[in-house]
Amino acid sequence: MANDKDPVNLKVGVLAIQGGFFEHKAALLKALKNHKFKNDIEVQIVEVREEEDLQELDGLILPGGESTTMSIFLESSGLDSVLKDWMNDKTKPRVVWGTCAGLILMSNQIAGQKEGGQAKIGGLDITTSRNFFGRQLNSFEAVLDIKDKSVQESILNSTVYKSTCKGIHGVFIRAPAVLSIDSKEVQILATVKIPSCERPVIVAVAQDNLMATAFHPELTDDVEWHAYFIRKILNA
């Protein structure tokens, strides 16, 4: 961990084979501009499409998109096994964040898979339901119930959040949801309440240096989750 006064150079990748990778890049830059961190930070953002792009990364975002299309590309190119090995390499701490389709790819168990299953990267001890909230027409936006103390400190106490007082919203587009937490190592970061479910639905989780959200933070004006991701890298 760097001294609070030391400048830090970070290299962050965004998987850029399909989905909202450009929006994530813009949100990362906005978070760096709008938030105060304990260190001065210089960030290089890399579009990841092949194994060489993973070199020296401190963090990686797996964006939303079409999970089946993404998994087909990953499997056919061999990048799925490369990502698994890269994520499991303990010689250097790396933070990985999956959003929407990225959550599906990072789940160890997937309910409602298409016939024959789909390639996944895994890493999170959870069972996830694809398209839990319905089709594209059922997309919605809702205020999140933040459950984790570290997220509350990072997000709810931020200057940007206090200035808006509107809560942190999640945009759900053909979104998955976490059906079950399958290990005590997994922390619930956020839930959301919807009329069709008696209990709050789990929509954000973390396990060690992995995190995932069922919603699209890159599609809102809030960049609190991207700031939290950067802080998680700094603390890794």
DSSP letter assigned to residue 78: T
SS3 annotation, 97-135: EEECHHHHHHEEEEECCCCCCCCCCCCEEEEEECCCCCC
Would you state the pLDDT for residue 116?
Answer: 60
The residues near 121 (Cβ < 8 Å, ≥ 6 apart) are 62, 74, 80, 83, 84, 87, 105, 106
Binding site feature residues for L-glutamine: 65-67, 130, 173-174
CA distance 106 to 69: 15
More confident residue, 187 or 38: 187
Is residue 51 helix, strand or coil?
helix
The answer to which of 31-45, 115-129, 153-167, 214-228 has the lowest mean pLDDT is: 153-167
Q: Is the pLDDT of residue 11 over 90?
A: yes
From the list 200, 22, 206, the residue with the least C-alpha distance to 98 is: 206
Give tens-digit pLDDT for 139-196.
889 889 998 888 877 766 555 554 454 568 899 998 999 999 999 999 999 999 988 8
pTM of the model: 0.90
* Largest distance between two CA atoms of the chain: 53
Mean pLDDT of 98-121: 84
Would you state the pLDDT for residue 68?
Answer: 82
Would you state the pLDDT for residue 2?
Answer: 52
Would you state the pLDDT for residue 156?
Answer: 61
Catalytic residue among 24, 35, 169, 218: 218
- Check if 100 is active-site: yes
Do 111 and 194 touch, CB atoms closer than 8 A?
A: no
Would you state the pLDDT for residue 4?
Answer: 57
Would you state the pLDDT for residue 165?
Answer: 47
Average pLDDT of the chain, as a whole number: 87
Give tens-digit pLDDT for 42-72.
889 999 999 999 999 999 999 988 888 888 8
- Check if 24 is active-site: no
Would you state the pLDDT for residue 16?
Answer: 92
**Structural domains for the chain:** 8-235 (3.40.50.880)
Would you state the pLDDT for residue 137?
Answer: 58
Binding site feature residues: 65-67, 130, 173-174
Catalytic residue among 100, 169, 224, 226: 100
- Check if 218 is active-site: yes
Is residue 7 helix, strand or coil?
coil
CA distance 154 to 38: 12
Q: Is the pLDDT of residue 91 over 90?
A: no
Mean pLDDT of 89-93: 85
Catalytic residue among 24, 216, 224, 226: 216
Would you state the pLDDT for residue 163?
Answer: 45
Give tens-digit pLDDT for 64-84.
888 888 888 888 899 999 999
